[in-house]
């Protein structure tokens, strides 16, 4: 049972498109819910609340070609403000574990570096939107850009049309991946880089071990 006044760890997942974050996060949440009987909240950014999901729809819509990069950055932050207030902060107070698919590092990598808006500016916006809340732990699932492109291509052949971010060029994903590597190097106590080319089972095991360490610390 969760003790009063203890805040649950906030664990975030980061990586370029096709890294497998969402599937792994879901499997990890299932393990802690079903095997360990923990109260787990899973959520995502941009999104996670009705307002933030509406903002998400604008952000990822493939036909929103005129969306200015600064507008994109502010919309990401607007969605984050809602999400932190409505979901993350209440979530860490009422659950044992909060797992979030993308968070502040996505803005730093995608808008700060990928869109060239500047890391310092985005970090300030991140701090403002999150009330300086920093994840307890972040898994950066690292895959080569070629694999990311292959997986996006495969999705295209399936039912789903690529979204606005999935329609970018190789240079964009290369810059984002490099940005994540730099962010991870600057935040070694928080960010764990995992080799996303490993078998899903191994990746999930590594994540479970790390989260267990955090939960028992
Ligand atoms: P998803 O594909 O992981 O659901 O995320 C949608 C896209 O949003 C993804 O391409 C990354 C992008 N994104 C940003 O550019 N900045 C952000 O701050 C977040 C949270 C996501």
Q: Report residues of the chain scoring pLDDT below 70.
A: 1-5, 158-159
Spacing, Cα 139 to ligand 1 middle (Å)? 15
**Measured between alpha carbons, how far is residue 86 from residues 54, 80, 90 in Å?**
15, 10, 7
- At 65 the pLDDT is 83
pTM: 0.96
- At 159 the pLDDT is 67
Residue identified by tokens 């006044």 is 5
- Annotated domain spans of the chain: 10-216
- At 164 the pLDDT is 86
Backbone angles phi, psi at 212, to 5 degrees: -60, -40
Pocket flag, ligand 1, residue 130 (CB < 6 Å): no
Pocket flag, ligand 1, residue 110 (CB < 6 Å): yes
Pocket flag, ligand 1, residue 142 (CB < 6 Å): no
Spacing, Cα 14 to ligand 1 middle (Å)? 9
- CA gap 183, 7 in Å, rounded: 25
- At 18 the pLDDT is 95
Express each pLDDT in 73-115 by its tens digit: 999 999 999 999 999 999 999 999 999 999 999 999 999 999 9
**What's the topology of domain 10-216?**
Rossmann fold (3.40.50)
Spacing, Cα 106 to ligand 1 middle (Å)? 6
3-state secondary structure of 195: strand
Is residue 11 within 8 A of residue 211, CB to CB? The reply is: yes
Q: Indicate which atom in ligand 1 lies nearest the CA of residue 21.
A: 3
3-state secondary structure of 60: helix
- At 120 the pLDDT is 98
């Amino acid at each position: 049972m969760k003790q009063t006044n203890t805040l649950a760890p906030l664990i975030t997942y980061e990586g370029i498109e096709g890294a497998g974050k969402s599937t792994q996060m879901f499997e990890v949440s299932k393990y802690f819910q079903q095997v360990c009987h923990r109260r787990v909240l899973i959520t995502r950014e941009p999104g996670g609340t009705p307002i933030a999901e509406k903002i998400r729809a604008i952000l990822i819509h493939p036909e929103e070609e005129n969306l200015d990069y600064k507008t994109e950055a502010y919309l990401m932050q607007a969605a984050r403000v809602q999400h932190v207030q409505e979901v993350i902060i209440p979530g860490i107070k009422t659950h044992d574990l909060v797992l979030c698919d993308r968070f502040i590092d996505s803005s730093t990598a995608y808008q700060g570096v990928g869109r060239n808006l500047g890391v310092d500016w985005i970090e300030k916006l991140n701090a403002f939107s999150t009330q300086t809340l920093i994840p307890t732990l972040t898994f950066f699932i690292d895959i080569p850009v070629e694999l990311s492109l292959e997986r996006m291509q495969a999705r295209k052949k399936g039912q789903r049309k690529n979204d606005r971010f999935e329609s970018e060029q190789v240079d964009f994903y290369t810059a984002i991946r490099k940005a994540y590597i730099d962010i991870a190097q600057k935040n070694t106590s928080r960010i764990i880089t995992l080799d996303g080319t490993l078998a899903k089972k191994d990746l999930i095991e590594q994540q479970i071990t790390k989260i267990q360490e955090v939960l028992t610390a």
